Amino acid sequence: MPAFPLPLRSGDTEPVINLQELFTEIYDIASYDLKIDYRNWEVIPALSEADTIWANAWLRDRQLRD
């Protein structure tokens, strides 16, 4: 996810918001990897065949899916 400047009032310095970093930090702090069972997780709407193959491989590489 791209980072973006957050517009503020005129003359204020715009902070850069890094959404990927923010989501990763929240995911780690909340221990979602321990709460979500990725072995039986189905995406709605369904992924394309190519994306399903990629997602399954990615999850297997991280030992989140058999």
Q: Residue 62 pLDDT more than 90?
A: no
pLDDT of residue 42: 76
Print the domain residue range for 49.
3-7+14-61
Q: What's the rounded Cα separation, in Å, for the pair 1 and 20?
A: 5
Q: Residue 2 pLDDT more than 90?
A: no
In DSSP notation, 14-39 reads PPEEEHHHHHHHHHHHTTHHHHS-TT
In a domain, 28, yes or no: yes
In a domain, 66, yes or no: no
Confidence band (pLDDT; 50, 70, 90) for 16? very high
pLDDT of residue 3: 92
Q: Which long-range contacts (CB under 8 A, 24 or more apart) does 22-25 make?
A: none
**Contacting residues for 29 by C-beta, under 8 A, at least 6 apart:** none
Full-model pTM = 0.47
Domains contained in the chain, number: 1
